[in-house]
Structures are given as C-alpha cells and as structure tokens.
Copies of this chain bind each other. A is one copy, B any other.
C-alpha cells in the first residue's frame, strides 16, 4: 500500500510510519464475502494477494459483476464509503486473499494529519474517476464483443483468471452470448 501512496506523493518517514500504525490485516477464504449489500462500507482494502470481485443483483436476481481487483489494487464500495449510505454491492474473494485494511477512522486521521494525505486522497479519487470514466465510455461506444476484444488485447489477466460467468455480466452480456463471442474470436 505504501508503494502506491508514494507513487502519488513524496512522503516522509514519519508520515509513512503513521500509516503503518493505522493499517490492519485480514485474510479471506475463496468465496468469502468481505462486504454484503445493505452494509455501509467503512473500509478500503488493499490486496496483497488474491482477487476480489464486486457484484450487485438485478431485478431478476442475477448477480451482476461490476468490478474486479487484483494484487496491489484497492477495493471498496467507494460509493458507499463516500456517501456513508448502504452499499448495493457485495464484495467477494475469488481466491484465497490477503488484505491490508484502512478503515474510515484511520483514513480520517491521515487526512487530518496533513496536507499531503489530503492531496493524495484527492489524486487517488481522481484516478478512480478516470478509470470508471473509461469503463463508462466503453459501454457507450462499444458492443459486448468489442469490449471482450479490448479485454483480450489489453487485459489478458481478466480472461485467464476470471470465470466466464462473471466476465459475462462484467461485459454487460449473458454467458450464452460471451460463448458465441469467444467462438468467433478463436
């Protein structure tokens, strides 16, 4: 987690020590839920090892995956964390997972402790925004097949590590349709 913060801002020893004191740890077994819908998300996790996915339900009761997170990435229901309203997402471990955790109180301490943390918070939020924006654009301008193709070219990891059923809803299509698309690509 330190490394990511340092890539955004040049922190001093003391600042990073403060961070060390605030981080806690947790492991998840495959399939375990870190957050369930209707809870308020009060922590941001950083993945040391493993894969998480976040998903919500549609009105038919199907699970719709809205994102994945891999090693050295952050995960949370950011919307719930920000608004302090109930999350509509569930967050689940797709593999054995090791986490570092920064909870709301810890983050608030960091923010209060100085300008640098405040600025880092803003910049990381900005980057999350940009990522989400890219995903939004891909939904507006590409077909399901094109989104798959894009993943295939630029994020091989998704296709190798994520079960097809989850990948399908992540791409905004049904598993049946994903199967057709994969057949066409081969």
Seen from chain A, the residues whose Cβ lies within 8 Å of a Cβ on chain B are: 56, 58-59, 64, 66, 78-79, 82-83, 88, 111, 115, 118-119, 121-122, 125-130, 132-137, 139-142, 169, 172
Q: Can you list 14 A-B pairs, Cβ within 8 angstroms, ordered by A?
A: A56-B137, A66-B136, A66-B137, A79-B129, A82-B126, A118-B119, A122-B125, A125-B129, A128-B129, A132-B136, A135-B136, A136-B139, A140-B169, A140-B172
**A135 vs B132: C-alpha distance when bound (angstroms):** 10
Extra 7 A-B pairs, beta carbons < 8 Å, given A66-B136, A66-B140, A136-B136: A64-B140, A78-B130, A82-B126, A82-B130, A125-B129, A135-B136, A136-B139
Interface centre among A118, A129, A137 (most CB of B within 10 A): A129
Q: How far is the CA of A79 from the CA of B141 in the complex (A)?
A: 16
B78/A141 in contact, CB under 8 A: no
- Copies in the assembly, this chain: 2
Q: Are A119 and B125 in contact (CB under 8 A)?
A: no
In the docked arrangement, what's the CA distance between A142 and B125, Å? Answer: 26
Contacts of A133 in B (CB 8 A): 78-79, 132
Shortest Cβ gap from A113 to chain B (Å): 11
Chain B residue with Cβ nearest A62: B141
Q: Return the chain B residue nearest A134 by Cβ.
A: B79
Q: Which residue of B lies closest to A59 (CB)?
A: B141
Bound-state Cα–Cα, A134 to B80, Å: 11
* Complex Cα–Cα for A132 and B79 (A): 10
| Docked pose: A119 CA to B119 CA in angstroms | 8
Whose C-beta in chain B lies nearest to the C-beta of A129? B129
Q: When chains A and B are docked, how far (Å) is the Cα of A169 from the Cα of B122?
A: 31
Min CB gap A143→B, angstroms: 10
